[in-house]
A and B are shown apart, each in its own frame.
Chain A
Amino acid sequence: MSTDIKENTAVYLKDLNKTYPGNPPVEALSNVTLQVSKGEFIGIIGASGSGKSTLLHVVGTLTRPTTGSLFIDGIDTSNMSDGELSAVRSRNIGFIFQDFFLISGFSAKENVENGLLYSGVNGKERTRRAIEILERVGLSHRINHRPNEMSGGEQQRVAIARALVHEPTFILADEPTGNLDSVNTKAIMDLLTNLNREGTTLILITHDLEVANIAPRKVTLKDGQIESDSSTQIENNLV
Chain B
Amino acid sequence: MGIGIFSLTVTLILGIVFSRSLVSRIKRKSPSNNLFIEPTLDTSTNVMVEEKPTSRPRKLPKSKVGFLDTLRVGVSGIKTRKLRSALSALGITIGIAALIGVLGLSASGSADLMKSLDALGTNLLTIRAGEGFGQNQSELPSTAPKMIGRINPVYEVSTVSKVPGSVYQNDLIDDGRTKGIAIFAVDLNLIRAQRGTINQGSYLSEITAKYPTVVLGSVAAERLGISRVSTEQMIWLGNKWFTVIGILDPLPLAADLDRGALIGYEIAAELLGHDGNIDVIYVRALPEYIEDVRSVMATTVNPENPEEVQVSRASDVLQARVAADNTFTNLFVGLGAVSLLVGGIGIANVMVIAVIERRNEIGLRRALGATKFHIATQFITESLSLSLIGGGAGVLSGILITSIYATTRDWTIVVPLYSVSGGLLASLIIGGLAGFYPAIRAANMPPTEALRTR
A residues engaging B (CB < 8 A)?
19-21, 57, 60, 62-64, 66-67, 75-84, 86-91, 93, 95, 97, 99, 101, 103-106, 114-115, 117-120, 122-123, 162
Query: Closest CB-CB distance, B450 to chain A, in whole Å?
Result: 9
Query: Closest CB-CB distance, A186 to chain B, in whole Å?
Result: 24
Chain B residues closer than 8 Å to A75, beta-carbon distance: 57-58, 60
Query: Could you name 26 residue pairs across A and B whose Cβ atoms are closer than 8 Å?
Result: A62-B367, A67-B38, A67-B41, A75-B58, A75-B60, A79-B53, A80-B57, A83-B63, A83-B373, A86-B369, A86-B371, A87-B62, A90-B369, A91-B63, A91-B369, A95-B364, A95-B367, A97-B364, A101-B451, A105-B76, A106-B80, A115-B368, A118-B369, A118-B374, A120-B61, A123-B69
B66 in complex: contacting residue of A60, A84, A122, A162, CB < 8 Å: A122
Structural contact, B36 and A64, CB atoms closer than 8 A: yes
CA distance A140 to B367 in the complex (A): 25
Q: Beyond A80-B57, A97-B451, is A118–B367 a contact (Cβ under 8 Å)?
A: no
Q: Beyond A63-B446, A118-B64, A120-B61, is A87–B38 a contact (Cβ under 8 Å)?
A: no
Residues 355-370 of chain B, each 1 if its beta carbon lies under 8 Å from chain A, else 0: 0000011011111111
Chain B residues closer than 8 Å to A62, beta-carbon distance: 366-367, 446-448, 451
Chain A residues closer than 8 Å to B63, beta-carbon distance: 83, 86-87, 89-91, 118-120
Interface centre among A21, A90, A122 (most CB of B within 10 A): A90
Chain B, interface residues (CB within 8 Å), range? 35 or more
A117 in complex: contacting residue of B41, B57, B62, B73, CB < 8 Å: B73
Structural contact, A66 and B368, CB atoms closer than 8 A: no
CA distance A115 to B370 in the complex (A): 10
B80 in complex: contacting residue of A78, A97, A104, CB < 8 Å: A104
B177 contacts the other chain (CB 8 A)? no
Structural contact, B448 and A77, CB atoms closer than 8 A: no
Structural contact, A103 and B364, CB atoms closer than 8 A: yes
Q: Beyond A118-B374, A120-B63, is A64–B35 a contact (Cβ under 8 Å)?
A: yes
Query: B-side binding surface: helix, strand, loop or mixed?
Result: loop
Chain B residues closer than 8 Å to A88, beta-carbon distance: 60, 369
Structural contact, A82 and B372, CB atoms closer than 8 A: yes
CA distance A20 to B38 in the complex (A): 11
B295 contacts the other chain (CB 8 A)? no
CA distance A19 to B62 in the complex (A): 29
In the complex, residue of chain A having the shortest beta-carbon distance to the beta carbon of B453:
A99
Chain A residues closer than 8 Å to B36, beta-carbon distance: 19-21, 64, 66
Residues 409-432 of chain B, each 1 if its beta carbon lies under 8 Å from chain A, else 0: 000000000000000000000000
Interface centre among A57, A86, A91, A115 (most CB of B within 10 A): A86
Structural contact, B57 and A101, CB atoms closer than 8 A: no
B135 contacts the other chain (CB 8 A)? no
Which residues in chain B, 332-372, are within 8 Å of chain A measured between CB atoms? Answer: 360-361, 363-372
CA distance A81 to B28 in the complex (A): 12
